[in-house]
Structure 1
Amino acid sequence: MELAGKVCIVTGAAGGIGAAMAEAFLDQGAKVVISDLDGDRLEATRERLAQTHGAVAARAGNAADPADIAAMIALAEETFDGPVDVYAANAGIGGGADLADEAAWAASFDVNVMAHVRAAQALVPGWVERGEGYFVSTASAAGLITQLGSATYATTKHAAVAFSEWLAVTYGTKGVRVSCLCPMGVDTALLTDVSEGSRVAQRAVTESGPVLSPEQVAQDVVDAMRAETFLILPHANVLDMLRGKTADYDRWISGMQRFGEHLASS
């Protein structure tokens, strides 16, 4: 898909990958609505983007709330006088260490998985009717090769990848394109602002590959959308890790156990 003239929504866009993705879409000539829970940061981002790109609007809200999703869609349609062409489900949260508690599990599933499901429920029927639409899911390399330290993050990111796969398999022949973004370390608050209990998860990421800028990751998304590529891997070594995992699960489990012990003891 070429983004020029397309109407896009990007969630989790007050900063990090979301803000960079919105700017990259705007650079391609798209019209963009950005959303985030943090209304003050979101408005600051909108003002910054509006200085160089006119076609940007913002609405604070919860990416997992059906009412807020509907309001984002309505704002995009009213502001840009056309249907939504692209939805980038980028909002996400980390998780507590070890097995976490019920509240952490519920919050992680709500934001990391159900936010994607509810957006698709709102948009996919219309895309099928029109014969065109694009769903971009921000998951994580943790959704392919697991995340040491955080059960909630590893589990929900696997679910996000699975939902993206299901969307592509089910609706790909009906004009709905799907891309799933699975980076490792990216220089965002999700990586850097962690609690003491999440240090193992943080170190597992930073010791496994380079920490990329949000702008590089956003450009990878644009390139993948142009080629209509499903799996977006900004860190090329993730593919080698995934192949090693699926080739010999027991060997991979043993290796991850040793890596976890190394991180915990050093």
Structure 2
Amino acid sequence: MLINDKVAVVTGAAGGIGAAVARRLLEAGARGVLLTDLDGARLDTTVRELAAEHGERVAGRAADAAATEDLRALVALAEERFGPVDLYFANAGIGGGAGLDASEEEWSRALDVNVMAHVRAAKLLVPGWVERGEGYFFTTASAAGLLTQIGSATYSVSKHAAVAFAEWLSVTYGDQGVRVSCLCPQGVETELLMAGTRSADPTERAAARAVLDSGELLQPLDVADRVVEAVADERFLVLPHPQVLDFYRHKGTDYDRWLRGMRRYQKAVR
């Protein structure tokens, strides 16, 4: 899909990958980009910075990307300011190092933000895209959605589910004009990852270290470049870290060997 003259919504856009994607969309000629995030103060700063360069093609609204009513309001605002939404970037996500000790609330929140936020957004947008014959749903998952995250059950399970939902969307609606991509990065210098290195929880620190030790730490704008390329190519799986594909192939070739290797790696980072 061509980004030029298209309207996009980007969640989790106060900083990190979301803010970088919004910037690249604007630079690629998007007619309008609506940024949203729970952190209203940080979001306002990002919107002001982008508006200084791109004027009225930028808008922002603090919202919970997992709340249906907030999503309705975001879509309505984007349509009012720019026109019908063409691209939706489900980028908001939460981490955490919770395992079997995770509370019901921690499981619910991880699934709500990392999975159900995507489902609710798709329910609002996909029927209209099918009617128009065109639309783009871009999921930010994680390499953990393909390979599992050492330390965090809530993150691994929810990111696997995010990948699965993106696959289902593509299978179900791909022949009706709905394009789907799924971003599965490894180490990216974002607050979500770096917070894990400062955590008082040893499980969260181990999870962050496992990511940092497994490959190159990319900058958000580097990842955003891969995102824009994927949209242009209408490519489903987006892997900014090429080694993730190698790991994924090894996993599929010999699952038991891969599990043994992951257990060894887990001991090394703890």
Q: Which among 120, 123, 127 is matched to residue 122 of structure 2?
A: 120
Match of 1:188 among 181, 190, 202: 190
How far did residue 263 of structure 1 move?
1.2
Runs of 4+ in 1 over 4 A off after TM superposition: none
SS, match of residue 128 in structure 2: helix
Normalising by structure 2, report the TM-score. Answer: 0.96
CA distance in 1, matches of 2:264, 2:195: 26
- 2:103 paired residue number: 101
Identify the match of residue 208 of structure 2 among 202, 218, 226: 202
8 A contact 1:109–1:156 mirrored in 2: yes
Instruction: Tell me what 1:177 maps to.
Output: 179
Show the counterpart of 1:9.
9
Query: Structure 2 counterpart of 1:255, which letter?
Result: G
Secondary structure, aligned partner of 2:36: strand
Aligned-residue offset at 1:96: 2.9
Q: 65, 74, 94: which one pairs with 1:72? A: 74
1:20-49 alpha-carbon deviations (Å, 9 max, x no partner)? 000000001111000000101101100000
1:240 matched to 2:246: yes
Identity of aligned residues (%): 62
1:103 to partner: Cα distance: 1.1
Given that residues 143 and 184 in structure 2 are in contact (C-alpha distance below 8 angstroms), is that contact kept between their aligned partners in structure 1?
yes
TM-superposition CA deviations, 1:191-233 (whole Å, max 9, x none): 0012232011001101110110000000100000000000000
Aligned to 2:165: 163
Q: Does 1:33 align with 2:37?
A: no
Contact 1:133 1:176 in 2 (8 A): yes
RMSD: 0.6
Tell me, which stretches of 5 or more residues in structure 2 are unaligned? none
Please give the alpha-carbon distance, in whole angstroms, between the structure 2 residues aligned to 1:250 and 1:192.
31
Kept in 2, the 8 Å contact 1:140–1:184? The answer is yes
Q: Which residue of 1 aligns with 2:230?
A: 224
Q: Which amino acid aligns with 1:8?
A: A
Question: Which residue pairs with 2:261 in the alignment?
Answer: 255
How many residues get paired? 263
Paired residues of 1:8 and 1:84 also in contact (CA < 8 A): yes
Deviates more, 1:196-205 or 1:110-119: 196-205
- Cα distance per residue 1:69-127 (max 9 Å; x no partner): 001100000001x2100000000000233222211101000000000000000000000
| Cα drift, residue 133 of structure 1 | 0.1
Q: What SS is found at the alignment partner of 2:8?
A: strand
Contact 2:50 2:58 in 1 (8 A): yes
Q: Answer whether contact 2:144 2:160 (CA < 8 A) is retained.
A: yes
- Residue segments in structure 1 that go unaligned for 5+ positions in a row: none
**1:8 shift after superposition:** 0.2
What does the per-residue CA deviation read over 1:146-181, in whole Å, with 9 as the maximum and x for residues that have no partner?
000100000000000000000000000000000000
- The question of whether the paired residues in 2 share the 8 Å contact of 1:96 and 1:104 is answered with no
The residue that corresponds to 2:43 in the other structure is: 42
Separation in 1 of the partners of 2:61 and 2:151?
A: 33
The answer to whether the Cα contact below 8 Å between 2:97 and 2:207 also exists between their aligned partners in 1 is no
Structure-2 residue corresponding to 1:83? 84
After superposition, the C-alpha distances for 1:133-155 in whole angstroms (9 at most, x for unaligned) are 00000000000000001000000
CA-CA distance at 1:262 after TM superposition: 1.2
Matched letter for residue 143 of structure 2: A
